[in-house]
Amino acid sequence: MSQTALAEQARAVVYDAYRQGLPQATAAQLLAGKATPAWIAHEYAALRRRGISQMAGQQELFAPEPADAQQ
């Protein structure tokens, strides 16, 4: 697998961890040594700068279903 593909997979893990409100240390554990803590911190900061909510994933998980979807 190419370095680019590995970086994109790591970035996806960090993005998911961030959106679920998980701490950076948990993201590092999920990546199992495939990324440095400094890189993870940089990615978290980039997501904050982009204005992405750290709790967005939890809000999606626990959001009530629209009335149309309940039928």
Name the pLDDT band for 60 (thresholds 50, 70, 90): low
Please tell me the predicted confidence (pLDDT) of residue 12.
Answer: 94
**7 alpha-carbon distance from chain centroid:** 14
> 57 with 16: CB under 8 angstroms?
yes
Residue with tokens 């979807």: 69
Can you give the pLDDT at residue 2?
A: 77
Per-residue model confidence (pLDDT) at position 59: 58
Can you give the pTM of this predicted structure? 0.72
Going by pLDDT thresholds of 50, 70 and 90, the confidence category of residue 25 is very high
